[in-house]
Amino acid sequence: MAQGRKRELTPGKSPAHFFGSELRRARETAGISMAEFCVKVPCAESSLSRVEGGILSPDKRLANVADEVFPHYNGWFTRFYLESREWVKAYPPPFRKFAQDERESTALYYLEHSYIPGLLQTEDYARAMLSAHPNTSAEQVEERVKARLERQAVVTRDNAPMLWFLIDETALRRCVGSQEIMRTQVARIAEMARRPNICIQVLALAVHVGLQGALHLAEVDGSVRSANLEDLADGRMIEDSATLVVLTLRFRYLQAQALNAADSLTLIERLANE
């Protein structure tokens, strides 16, 4: 199979990138071809290429085989695989894969009808919201708040993605925690709206298709890779291409219905002052 140009990796970008860069390095140093390694797993060359490219997360079997093929790593591949699973433990299982795609994205799209999007939340707002979950201890709440704030690094990192937010006006008016928490939160949104890589639009009080549920889309190099749909069962991950096309079109449709960025900022600033 002819191999195209290798995908450039940034090992510190995500666990998938780090694992992929080390696997590629080990395999090429040992002079083992992709076809030869795939026979040992076994797996398709296209799958291995995606793992080495940081696009696809490895599974435990692949990590175990890597440790067998490269014994001088002293079990590093399996240890890293197991430890990286723990890094995302604070997220609900359906969200964990999307959290990885979010870190690797070149563009992100968020539709929220009830709450402020997680990437824009202040610590106090996030804590008040996450504390509302039933059967959740104070320690679990703090763990989830920490994970949510760490996700926000994608907004300000070097070469940050373009971010598009559609927020229903109801979410801006709903009091979460206290009036002071909301004042600070809405002011934070106004501040973020002025960043060059962020576009925030408000869906004015009206009936629209976005009221059916929150939607998050992660785009990589011009192609939407995955979506996260939120619901009472902690959401679900969508990777089916046909469904992604439908979700993207609906997001675009709602963008056309929303206030433009300038008018949205004016409304947000007015609400912050109120």
Q: Are residues 152 and 191 located together in one domain of the fold?
A: yes
CA dihedral 181, 186, 187, 193 (to 10 degrees): 150
Is 1 inside any structural domain?
Answer: no
d(C-alpha 188, C-alpha 268), whole Å: 10
Q: Are residues 35 and 125 located together in one domain of the fold?
A: no
d(C-alpha 94, C-alpha 116), whole Å: 20
Q: Are residues 126 and 219 located together in one domain of the fold?
A: yes
Is 3 inside any structural domain?
Answer: no
Q: What is the pLDDT of residues 197-254, one digit of tens each?
A: 999 999 988 878 778 889 999 998 899 999 999 888 778 889 999 999 999 999 999 9
Which pLDDT band, with edges at 50, 70 and 90, does 89 fall under? low
Which of 87, 112, 147 is the C-terminal boundary of a domain?
A: 87
Q: Are residues 77 and 103 located together in one domain of the fold?
A: no
Q: How many domains does the chain have?
A: 2
Residues 6+ apart with CB under 8 A from 154: 102, 103, 105, 108, 119, 160, 161
User: What pLDDT sits at residue 75?
Assistant: 93
Range of the domain at 54: 12-87
Q: What is the pLDDT of residues 26-51, one digit of tens each?
A: 999 999 999 999 999 988 888 898 88
User: What pLDDT sits at residue 207?
Assistant: 77
Q: Which of 8-17, 37-46, 95-104 has the highest mean pLDDT?
A: 37-46
Residue 138: give its domain's CATH number.
3.30.870
Is 212 inside any structural domain?
Answer: yes
User: What pLDDT sits at residue 3?
Assistant: 44
Q: Are residues 16 and 71 located together in one domain of the fold?
A: yes
CA dihedral 20, 82, 241, 219 (to 10 degrees): -60
Residue 77: give its domain's CATH number.
1.10.260.40
